[in-house]
A and B are shown apart, each in its own frame.
Chain A
């Protein structure tokens, strides 16, 4: 190791310890930010030291869960450098590389905007690109703009890098066209398809000619089995497939995982079809890194959810069921999960508008909250933009007498818990920073561990 790099590393590690000691969160990105500022090429050097190279995961939705699933699979045999705290910008990757002593393999979830830079610097062996949905247009810009950046970044990847793509997402599937090393995953089970495309479906016009696709089956948002009636552009042949899917309420999802290495029946301890997509992405990525099918199945079956995405917390005699919502497609899946698994009688929905949530809160109007509103008894609208949420629910026809507006998150959580009978469960649907704050409140009360001690 160069003397300069060694010096930078020890200084940056010290900052991480100071940041934790000072009580300002996990200290997960501060050392990386420092290193990133002092010497951005340090990532290249640190990544190059990993004997088994690196793998990246990016997507609008599910990148944290997918990379946690991949860690559960790969971590059975390998020591990983993994950014499990969700610090997914270049600085977060830098921090993880700094902290990972003796790691063999890098596994990084990467923000969709940061992906080109991280791809260039880590020279990954495999990259999983799982989906593109509209998300925080004020921050990321239009979907097509993100896709263009990805296209340019993929074109610059070495031919030997395996590209793992979601074949059910037209904009993402196209990225693997003509690549020698690619794995295409998708769902093939019309019984779990949606009756119609959802309101917020995005890429529903042919990527080649602009004609609306015909869907043989639409699964999550615009993900599905599509074909253009005009030019014939269609979902490519699948390499890794989920079939015979059984959605078992809030507890589990069982499916046949069909791969080039054989077929396994997987009992995934997570609800929702979107988690089948996450499992397919993780399985494909790990197979591309030479994991065995047995390890893939065992890793998926032993999975426990990434913090705050889907989490059950013991709230002292009452349960808390937390599902992150952050954009229309993801929130629609949280709603579907609750509707199919049983809607708790009381809900706290929390909307913040910090940069990480998106300052533009208009997306809540594109979420299909209606099935939830038809079933919920009481709703507490919370967060910095609680009034906006309350308007969303009121104009959807939810009775004002059963709706409360409590902006403060701690007060809203307590009010929600008070609405639940002992032994019952409170549903909590927070945006990203609201989720972090609610988890911090739960951690203060000793109900959960802080996130940087959570998974590892």
Chain B
């Protein structure tokens, strides 16, 4: 089965190894007999014809984020509709912030976002930097962990009742206070965790792939892969988070 992927702003939002996440999705799809058809979408470009099964939005430096923000905000309705109809989405760091309602700068400025995630982000005085470990409960009774690295000045505040991606075990997370990290709306996930995210958290990569396959009309079941290196990398990253976590 062909999985159609729209990679938004690959020339602008690519700072924390975002192409690593794409490479992981590509290979894990291929090993199960599927192919990823990745289209880079720049400011002003149309979305790929025939629909999108998975959106990817990476992180960027402030300057690049500001350059693409108006374009992304203008796509808000299309992205919300696609996700409501079952398309998967992964947004990391800057992409995560810009898929909320908006970003309040330290000077009071307001950068409107795509309003997919029920949250707002406010610039903070200090950056929250370091290794993070979170625990997610996608399936009841079967918690799974995600290990990554965060580096953000924004404090992301979820609306009451919004579903986070996970609970912080070590590190800062959304705002350094709530104890939560990321946000999940149906088949869409936003998170601050890079490193990149998917190589050392393969269960999450497979979860996204399965949702994208369902959207493409295929069975979502994916054969397990050995993932020995993935587990080794996860173990070291998780140990780092437990040992040193974030440093403000």
Query: Interface of A with B (CB < 8 Å)?
Result: 134, 137-138, 141-144, 199, 204-205, 210, 212, 353, 359-366, 384-385, 387-388, 390-392, 394-397, 405
Interface size class of B (residues with CB under 8 A): 20 to 34
Is B233 at the interface (CB under 8 A from chain A)? Answer: yes
Q: How far is the CA of A390 from the CA of B67 in the complex (A)?
A: 35
- Smallest Cβ-Cβ distance to B237: which chain A residue: A388
Is B211 at the interface (CB under 8 A from chain A)? Answer: no
Q: How far is the CB of B57 from chain A (nearest CB, A)?
A: 16
Q: Verify B195–A205 contact, CB threshold 8 A.
A: no
Given contacts A210-B67, A365-B196, contact A405 B229 (CB under 8 A): yes
Is B151 at the interface (CB under 8 A from chain A)? Answer: yes
**Please, which residues of chain B bring their CB within 8 A of the CB of A134?**
15
Q: Verify B229–A394 contact, CB threshold 8 A.
A: yes
Q: Verify A361–B27 contact, CB threshold 8 A.
A: no
**Please, which residues of chain A bring their CB within 8 A of the CB of B96?**
none
Q: Sorted from nearest, which 9 A-B pairs have the closest CB atoms? A: A365-B17, A365-B20, A362-B17, A387-B232, A387-B233, A142-B61, A391-B199, A395-B23, A360-B149
Q: Which of B82-137 contact A (CB under 8 A)?
A: 127, 129-131
Q: Verify B20–A392 contact, CB threshold 8 A.
A: yes
**Please, which residues of chain B bring their CB within 8 A of the CB of A199?**
14, 19
Centre residue among A137, A141, A364 by max chain B CB count within 10 A: A137
Q: How far is the CA of A387 from the CA of B239 in the complex (A)?
A: 14
Q: Verify A144–B131 contact, CB threshold 8 A.
A: no
Q: How far is the CA of A144 from the CA of B64 in the complex (A)?
A: 10
Q: How far is the CB of A151 from chain B (nearest CB, A)?
A: 14
Is B167 at the interface (CB under 8 A from chain A)? Answer: no
Q: How far is the CA of A41 from the CA of B128 in the complex (A)?
A: 32
Could you list 28 examples of A-B contacts with CB < 8 Å?
A138-B129, A138-B149, A138-B151, A141-B127, A143-B61, A144-B63, A199-B14, A199-B19, A205-B63, A205-B64, A359-B149, A361-B195, A362-B20, A365-B17, A365-B199, A385-B233, A387-B232, A388-B199, A388-B233, A388-B236, A390-B229, A390-B233, A391-B230, A392-B199, A395-B20, A395-B27, A396-B23, A397-B27
Q: Which of B170-217 contact A (CB under 8 A)?
A: 194-196, 199-200
Q: Which of B15, B62, B127, B236 contacts A384 (CB 8 A)?
A: B236
- Smallest Cβ-Cβ distance to B24: which chain A residue: A395
Q: Which of B10-24 contact A (CB under 8 A)?
A: 11, 14-17, 19-20, 23-24
**Please, which residues of chain A bring their CB within 8 A of the CB of B62?**
142, 144
Q: How far is the CB of A349 from chain B (nearest CB, A)?
A: 14
Q: How far is the CB of A390 from chain B (nearest CB, A)?
A: 5
Q: How far is the CB of B7 from chain A (nearest CB, A)?
A: 13
Q: How far is the CB of B176 from chain A (nearest CB, A)?
A: 16
**Please, which residues of chain A bring their CB within 8 A of the CB of B155?**
none
Q: Verify B199–A353 contact, CB threshold 8 A.
A: no
